[in-house]
Amino acid sequence: SLAPEPLTATAVLAAGALLGGDNTALKDRWLPRLAAGEWLPALAWQESAGSQAIQPLGTHITRATPRDGGWVLDGGKCVVAAGDSANAFIVSAQGSGGLGLYLVQRDAPGLTVTTRTRVDGGTWSELALKGVAVGSGDLVASPAVASSTLERVLDEGRFALSAELLGLMARALELSVDYIQMREQFGKKIGSFQALQHRAVDLYIQQEIADAVLRDVVRQLDAAPDDVARALAASRNARF
């Protein structure tokens, strides 16, 4: 069964960004609450719908301007997973020193969250940031590590989503086979029709191919690959 929980969005993407950052105090403060289910962050990185690439340095719409020892964020994000239930957002923004990841609480002045319904009944959110103040202690990842951290968590998120899609595929096929084994037409179980048998076998083969790819990628990720190897493995999953 599908669990309506933001596992990939929160425990993989957002938690991964926090773990990969270089702010130990933030990790000590928020990770225990995340693990306890008391705090749900969401990663807000995408700035153009349909693009799966991180914006090149210098082209980020969202900007971080230094002010009073912290920063002020201005810009916008789209397609934020689990944004409707998030307590806070880890926002990527371009500053004078490069790309950084910043922690923004949901009730921060200047932040507007708009949630929209997807065609599958789920939701995604858009963020508008106008003069959102971020304190010096809320820098999740400095420019020294932000880009590499973001690339890694997005690859891991693609892998996690692929695993979820494989589960959907397997369950949908199981339900379909159960149905054709009990449904009767023209006085016969429709599962006895050769055309439906062939289609079921074709779908099973596709499921097994996807499963084999996923398991192979698991082995590659367990081997702690470098950034290029990890990205290539994630790209294989994205082709399901």
Residues of the chain with pLDDT under 70: 1, 50-60, 237-240
Per-residue pLDDT of 156-192, as tens digits, reads 999 999 999 999 999 999 999 999 999 988 888 888 8
Read off the pTM: 0.86
Give 174's Cβ-side CA count (13 Å radius): 7
CA distances from 92 to 11, 37, 125, 170, 233 (A): 18, 24, 15, 35, 24
CA distance 127 to 111: 7
What's the confidence (pLDDT) of residue 240?
40
What's the confidence (pLDDT) of residue 5?
83
3-state SS class at 153: helix
What's the confidence (pLDDT) of residue 237?
57
3-state SS class at 154: helix
Return the bridge partners of 72, or none: 65, 133
Picking from 137, 35, 133, 146, the residue whose alpha carbon sits closest to that of residue 98 is 146
* Angle (CA) 127 108 43, round 5°: 45
Here the tokens at position 153 are 């968590």
Picking from 47, 7, 22, the residue whose alpha carbon sits closest to that of residue 159 is 7
